Amino acid sequence: METGVRSDVRRDVRRGPEIWLRGPVATPEGRPPEPVLGAGGSPLHSFVGAHGGAGTSTLARVYGGHDCGRDWPGPTAPRSVLLVARTHASGLRAALHTLELFRRGEAPPGLGLDAVVLVADAPGRLPRPLAQRIKVIDSAIDVHRVPWVPAWRLGDLTGTPPRETEALVRLTGAAGRSR
């Protein structure tokens, strides 16, 4: 058996990275906020997690968009993908792996990878080896960094997105969004 490759994985199946299922997280008011919609009345982007716990649900709620979790967008979901990963070593490795799937044309047909969204895995500065991996990702595609937000950890998704994410706000159309 080839090292690092599971024998139970079928190579002819077009799926996203390994799926971790979790239920929806309710907002403090008990109802999800309305997604940001494009001109056609549907979300502009699909948030796809490169690994479990990447933050797709939080980002979809804060910035608007379709939460795909760990799976590829379905037929009714937006075809514009924002790949999401945490900034820890395994998260960045998973992001690079998924970028490679797009590069080799192994992502489902019709999907467009618009950017990578890297969510801080902890407060503070990144160690140099992780910052260097981010430079590699950034050399291949636009990268949007989302800082550590203590309120999000507690489930409070109200308020405005962090000011460091203004470019992501513009990309997703979340400007002026009320929560």
Instruction: Read off the pLDDT band of 15 (50, 70, 90).
Output: very low
Residue type, 26: A
For 53-98, the pLDDT digits (tens) are 999 999 999 999 999 999 999 999 999 999 999 999 999 999 999 9
Name the residue among 156, 159, 145 with its Cα closest to residue 117. Answer: 145
pLDDT in the model for residue 53: 96
pTM score, two decimals? 0.76
Helix (H) or strand (E) holding 96: helix 89-103
pLDDT in the model for residue 156: 95
The phi and psi torsions of 126 (rounded to 5 degrees) equal: -80, 145
Q: Mean pLDDT over residues 24-53, rounded?
A: 61
Q: What DSSP designation does 54 have?
A: S
What percent of the chain lies above the pLDDT cut of 70? 73
For 17-37, the pLDDT digits (tens) are 443 333 333 334 444 334 444
pLDDT in the model for residue 42: 53
Name the residue among 39, 165, 51, 54 with its Cα closest to residue 119. Answer: 54
114: tokens are 């618009």
